[in-house]
């Protein structure tokens, strides 16, 4: 079974689309949460979101191939740019790997349904004209569902990179990107691929998307400055903050990476997945599904709990998730749980929904590679039910021989990835 290495990483988040910029800002505890500017959000009781700035989007359009730059869907643009960055970071260009043994696996959200996609085909008396609609799909909004099905990012990345091997698109909510990365690792382990671009991309910063989280009662409606909205593990936390963006990594077999003399960021050592089977919109309050996910990932990695120094938590800042995740970590790590550093990337970039596991895995890999841990921002009033070391407000230099990254999704889907130092 081949060892799986992380040789390239790229991301687009509210902290930036350059890996080093985003990492330095995360270490500084900066927030990318700001008032929404991509649409008129004044009627929504939300102070801000982890939105990628308009100037950043224009810059990434300029970096993409001419035929890809006009893409209308934000998450597709983010995915393409993150994939481009990951391949460049790995020192590869499209066409430099065996296309039949190179794959693409991406987690993505369901595409956007827009009212304007249907309104022109609705008459006052006859209702919706489905026949005319089917013949005029090209007239629908360029960022709507009908021109951007969930698999579009996967397909475009594969076409651009020339990767014709194993492929998958996962739409399993907040667990999607983590599952895509885990499946990419397994494809390499099984000998089905030498290299896989994998990760996730999503954007729900649009009227329907934001309204969904408000209707679920999951979004923070606190009347505070945007930077202070997301407060994981804090007693005054009031809900998640929606973010957007993408993260893509290049995984390679150790043999393939050695053959080309690749630089290695870290090893991807283990993958665990589980289902709460509890409730669609709430985690198991005892964290049993999350604990199984972590335990399975450690078993898959062949590691004992005491070998882990850092946990990049799912850390949503919701009333239900944070104590449940704390209980799960305590169950898995036992007495050594108090020795762990635990922090939440979402406190700075928001919740990237289907994409969240990818940038967070990248931050985890950087922690392992560089022995630094970014803080949990806005942790000022610790909740007594959240009693671990959450690295409040200031980054920390510490040995990180191995770490885990958690992603726990709606419907009770859980994913944990284990990262270890490069040999």
- Given 256, 265, 351, 374, the catalytic residue: 351
Q: Has 174 been annotated as catalytic?
A: yes
Q: How far apart are CA 121 and CA 324, in angstroms?
A: 47
DSSP string, 276-298: --SBTTB--TT-HHHHHHHHHHH
Tokens encoding 132: 């005319």
Task: Tell me whether residue 386 is one of the annotated catalytic residues.
Answer: no
Confidence of residue 410 (pLDDT cuts 50, 70, 90): confident
Please state the rounded mean pLDDT for residues 63-89.
93
Antiparallel, parallel or unpaired: β 413-420 and 402-409: antiparallel
Exposure b/e, 91-104, CB count within 10 A at least 16 = b: ebebeebeeebbbb
Q: Mean pLDDT over residues 128-146, rounded?
A: 74
User: Does 314 qualify as catalytic in the annotation?
Assistant: yes
Give the domains, in start order, of the chain with CATH numbers: 4-112+148-420 (3.40.47.10)
Task: Identify the band that residue 280 occupies on the pLDDT scale cut at 50, 70 and 90.
Answer: confident
**Residue 1: pLDDT over 90:** no
- Is pLDDT of 142 > 70? no
The owner of tokens 């590691």 is 303
Q: Is the model's pLDDT at 135 over the cut of 90?
A: no
Q: Which helix (H) or strand (E) holds 201?
A: strand 195-203
The pLDDT score that the predictor gives to residue 209 is 85
Alpha-carbon gap, residue 267 to 18, rounded angstroms:
22
Question: What is the predicted pLDDT for the residue at 241?
Answer: 97
Predicted confidence (pLDDT) per residue in 312-365, tens digit: 999 999 999 999 999 999 999 999 999 999 999 999 999 999 999 999 999 999
Average pLDDT, the chain: 93
Q: 165-192: buried (b, 16+ CB within 10 Å) or exposed (e) per residue? A: bbbbbbbbbbbbbbbbbbbbbbbbbeee
Catalytic residue among 206, 256, 265, 314: 314
Q: Which pLDDT does position 113 carry in this prediction?
A: 61
Out of 174, 198, 269, 386, which one is annotated catalytic? 174
Average pLDDT over residues 64-90: 93
Residues 6+ apart with CB under 8 A from 89: 7, 8, 9, 10, 19, 250
Of residues 410 and 51, more confidently modeled: 51
């Amino acid at each position: 079974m081949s060892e799986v290495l992380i040789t390239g990483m790229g991301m687009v988040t509210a902290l930036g689309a350059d890996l080093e910029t985003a990492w330095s800002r995360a270490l500084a505890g900066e927030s990318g949460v700001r008032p929404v500017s991509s649409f008129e959000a004044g009627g929504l009781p939300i102070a801000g979101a982890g939105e990628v700035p308009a100037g950043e989007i224009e810059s990434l359009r300029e970096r993409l191939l001419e035929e890809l730059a006009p893409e209308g869907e934000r998450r597709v643009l983010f995915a393409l740019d993150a994939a481009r960055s990951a391949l460049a970071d790995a020192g590869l260009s499209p066409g430099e790997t065996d296309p039949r043994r190179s794959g693409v696996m991406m987690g993505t959200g369901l595409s956007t349904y827009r009212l304007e996609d249907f309104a022109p085909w609705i008459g006052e008396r006859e209702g919706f004209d489905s026949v005319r609609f089917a013949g005029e799909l090209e007239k629908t909004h360029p960022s709507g569902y009908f021109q951007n099905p969930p698999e579009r990012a996967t397909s475009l990345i594969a076409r651009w990179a020339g990767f014709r091997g194993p492929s998958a698109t996962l739409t399993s909510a907040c667990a999607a990107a983590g599952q895509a990365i885990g499946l990419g690792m397994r494809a390499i382990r099984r000998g089905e691929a030498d290299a896989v671009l994998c990760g996730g991309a999503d954007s729900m910063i649009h009227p329907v998307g934001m309204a969904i989280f408000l209707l679920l009662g999951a979004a923070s409606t606190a009347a505070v400055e945007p930077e202070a909205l997301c407060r994981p593990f804090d007693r005054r936390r009031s809900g998640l903050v929606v973010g957007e963006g993408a993260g893509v990594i290049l995984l390679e077999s150790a043999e393939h990476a050695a053959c080309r003399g690749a630089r290695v960021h870290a090893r991807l050592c283990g993958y665990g997945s589980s289902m709460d089977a509890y409730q669609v919109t709430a985690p198991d309050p005892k964290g049993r599904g999350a604990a199984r996910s972590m335990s399975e990932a450690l078993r898959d990695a062949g590691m004992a709990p005491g070998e882990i120094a850092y946990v990049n938590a799912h850390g949503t800042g919701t009333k239900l998730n944070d104590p449940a995740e704390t209980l799960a970590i305590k169950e898995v790590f036992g007495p050594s749980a108090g020795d762990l550093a635990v922090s939440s990337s979402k406190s700075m970039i928001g919740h990237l929904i289907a994409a969240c596991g990818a940038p967070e895995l990248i931050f985890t890999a950087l922690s392992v590679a560089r022995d630094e841990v970014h803080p949990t921002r806005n942790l000022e009033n610790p909740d007594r039910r959240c009693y671990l070391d959450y690295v409040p407000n200031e980054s920390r230099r510490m040995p990180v021989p191995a770490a885990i990254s958690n992603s726990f999704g709606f419907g009770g889907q859980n994913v944990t990835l284990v990262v270890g130092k490069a040999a």
